[in-house]
A = this chain, B = another copy of it.
Amino acid sequence: MPLARVERNNLSQTVCSRLARAIMAGQFKPGSKISEPSLSEMLGVSRAPIREALIELELRGLVEFDATGRTRVPVLSPLDIDEIHTVRLMIDPVAASLAAERAKASTFNALAANIAATRSVKTLADVSRLDAEFHDTIVRAAGNRRLLLCWNSLRDQVGLWLAQMQMRHQPVTKRTRQETAEAHQTLLDAIRSGDPKKAAAAAHKHVAGWIKVMPKAPADDDKANP
């Protein structure tokens, strides 16, 4: 049995994941400024780990620095969403294709369990979480660390965008958990078939369909100042 990998646990990492969760949970308003001293006090750690965490979050696209070094939560525009979708449309088919070639039984079990969970879950947040997990499992099964890195960043930003939509009280998707489960089942079947082309096509179709049901332009209820 391979020994469990010992992860480096420093405060920076802890702060980083806690902040990532908080941002994606909508606990920081998109566009709001984040100051290091305030985080330092909130989390009870000094500024050094905070700074290191913020740098990582910036590279993951969950915060951004302006020219003077101030940190803020990015406000994703429709253009940003389009960028993210374009890249997802590129990554997901490749991931599915590789997964079709390499996935083991444990992956299929995890995916099937995820679909079952999706059918029984109540809240929309749970569906979103399971959806992210589902695709995460596929990308991991693809066995390409670089691909996974690209995808992680995207997933974070999709999370940020969901938070942003919820904050504006906009419905995120009209797709029910039943439809999601069925779409995932189709994708799982394609991957399990072992045919890379078929899996890629299914993934492409799935992502494209998912994009279609999302609101493209946020209703500008906030001020649209120059």
- CB of A194 closer than 8 Å to a CB of B: no
Q: How far is the CB of A82 from chain B (nearest CB, A)?
A: 8
Contact B147 A83 (CB under 8 A): yes
Measured CB to CB, the nearest residue on chain B to A70 is B8
With a cutoff of 8 Å between Cβ atoms, the chain B residues found around residue A7 in the complex are 67
- CB of A61 closer than 8 Å to a CB of B: yes
Please tell me how many copies of the chain the complex holds.
Answer: 2
Chain A, interface size category, equals 35 or more
Name the one of B5, B6, B83, B150 contacting A87, with C-beta atoms under 8 angstroms: B150
- CB of A90 closer than 8 Å to a CB of B: yes
Contact A67 B150 (CB under 8 A): no
Q: How far is the CB of A139 from chain B (nearest CB, A)?
A: 12
Measured CB to CB, the nearest residue on chain B to A69 is B8
- Asked, given contacts A51-B52, A59-B56, whether A94 binds B86 with beta carbons under 8 Å apart, the answer is yes
With a cutoff of 8 Å between Cβ atoms, the chain B residues found around residue A153 in the complex are 146, 149-150
In residues 9-33 of chain A, which contact B (Cβ within 8 Å)? 10, 12
With a cutoff of 8 Å between Cβ atoms, the chain B residues found around residue A154 in the complex are 146
**CB<8 Å pairs between A and B, sample of 6:** A7-B67, A8-B68, A52-B52, A59-B149, A86-B144, A150-B153
**Nearest 8 Cβ contacts at the A-B interface:** A6-B67, A150-B150, A83-B144, A87-B146, A90-B94, A59-B59, A83-B146, A55-B55
Q: Which residues of A contact B (CB under 8 A)?
A: 5-8, 10, 12, 48, 51-52, 55-56, 59, 61, 65-69, 83-84, 86-87, 90-91, 94, 98, 144-147, 149-150, 153-154, 157
